[in-house]
Structure formats: structure tokens, C-alpha cells
Amino acid sequence: MSGHTDMVLVDENGIRIDGRRVDEKRPIKIEAGVLKNASGSCYLEIGKNKVLCAVYGPRECRPRHLQDPTKAVIQVKYNMEAYSVTDRKRPGTDRRSVEISKLIAEALECVVQTELYPRASIDVYIEILQANAGTRCAGLTAASVALADAGIPMRDIVPAIACGKADGNVLLDLNKEEDNYGQADVPIAIVPSTDEIVLLQMDGNMTREELDHGLDMAIAAAHEVYEIQRDALKRRYASISKKEGESDE
């Protein structure tokens, strides 16, 4: 987020370097139930980001000292693969991945009915296979689909998307160049049934009016992401019912 580059990020016609309008999100593909051995799973692409998420549980919480007698704990592990970026990333946990894992767990705790599973753990593994900015939003969006695929009771599912600012324009869903050289990046996640915001961060600077405009765009786009999440789950349930029907015959 340097805010300085000779690159034109938004041209005089309001078109961005990847051809999008300022209020256009990248194409999204979501598939639920892609892994056989996990309780639930999801593969998601948004633009050039590729994310795989696996959920295990609810199961006995380990290590035991993390158990909560009143509810399940959600343990998230966000991991960017070494090959997910153009310069090899140093493998393993770093401050950024710890921070993102915590943010995602806190957002999911707002919707998962953890009180139904005292002392249990719900383990969420998010693997970033290919990164192009917006991976925390992509990871959280995939995680809520994977949790629903695991059959874990939730009040709602959580879609996430960023808004921000580059070349003086308020933008939806920043790509890597806009994230690197723009003036602000604001990832958000909402609970669609109430529009409650369960994740909000801001890196960079925007005026109050720009932020309000960006949030309006991001909340509207999050509702569209929600529909794509629901469609993925409907396709998944339809394929499970079809298989069950075939095995009954």
C-alpha cells in the first residue's frame, strides 16, 4: 500500500488495469465438498486467487487446555503456500498468518452455534494456493461454505470482500497492483441477514465520505458473493441427494 507508482491503475474512462469498472468485483467460482476426508470443504477462486478450505469437527479439542466448557472453540489456520506468490514465500507461520487466522476465527464465531458443542474444537484449514490480494476475504468466504458443508449449525454464512482506493478512485475488490500501489485497502465481512459487520480492517487512508461509499459498494457486493456461496451449497446438496437416491435403488 505505497500509494506511489507510475502505473496508471484507473484510466480516464474509469477502467482498471484488469479491465474492470471501479464497482466491479473479480469473477468468483465456488465449489463445496471437494475433499473426501474432511468433514466439510470448499474450493474458491476470485480473480487470480485460488483457495482451498477444509473443516474438521466438531471433535475433541486438542490441546486440552484450549477447551471451553461452555462452547466449541474455532481454530483457524490460514496458510499461504510458498508457491502462491511470484517470489517464493518463506513457508510456515508468520505474524501476518497468525493475525489473519485470528480475524477469520472471530468473524466465524459470530455465526457458528458454538454453544451446541461444549469442549469441542472446530478446525478450519485455509490454504492459499495462489494469491493476488484479497486472500483473507477469499479464505473467510470459503471457510463459511466449508463449515456449512460440514453440517455445522450456523445462524448465517459470511461473505467477505474488500473495497479501497487507488489513483484517487474508490474501488471494489482490489487486485495485487491496486493493493500494492493504491492508497487504501478495506476488507470487510458481513452477516447478510442483518448486515452486521464481522470483519473490518483499514490499511491506508480514505476520507469519511470515500469510506462510506466504499462500504456501501462492498456490502452490496457481499450480498452477491452470498448468492454464489448459496448456489455452491445447493449444488452440493443436490449431488448428495442424487447419490443417496442412486444407492437406494
Residues in touch with ligand ADP (CB under 6 A): 85, 87, 89, 96, 131-136, 176, 179, 185
Pick between residue 52 and residue 131 the one whose CB is nearest to ligand ADP: 131
126/124 Cα distance (integer angstroms) = 6
> Smallest distance from the beta carbon of 40 to ligand ADP, in angstroms?
22
Pick between residue 71 and residue 89 the one whose CB is nearest to ligand ADP: 89
> Which helix (DSSP H) or strand (DSSP E) does residue 60 occupy?
strand 49-60
Q: What angle do CA 218, 86, 161 make, to 5 degrees?
A: 10
Pick between residue 83 and residue 237 the one whose CB is nearest to ligand ADP: 83
Cross-strand bridge partners of residue 160 = 189
Pick between residue 21 and residue 88 the one whose CB is nearest to ligand ADP: 88
Q: Say if strands 49-60 and 120-130 run parallel, antiparallel, or are unpaired.
A: antiparallel
> Smallest distance from the beta carbon of 134 to ligand ADP, in angstroms?
5
Cα dist from 213 to 18, 91, 163, whole Å: 22, 37, 9
> Smallest distance from the beta carbon of 136 to ligand ADP, in angstroms?
3
> Smallest distance from the beta carbon of 201 to ligand ADP, in angstroms?
9
232/235 Cα distance (integer angstroms) = 5
Pick between residue 131 and residue 191 the one whose CB is nearest to ligand ADP: 131
> Smallest distance from the beta carbon of 133 to ligand ADP, in angstroms?
4
Q: What angle do CA 171, 172, 174 make, to 5 degrees?
A: 85
> Smallest distance from the beta carbon of 122 to ligand ADP, in angstroms?
22
CB neighbour burial string for 92-130, b if at least 16 within 10 angstroms, e if fewer: eeeeebeebbebbbebbbbbbebeebebbbbbbbbbbeb
79/53 Cα distance (integer angstroms) = 10
187/183 Cα distance (integer angstroms) = 14
Pick between residue 129 and residue 228 the one whose CB is nearest to ligand ADP: 129
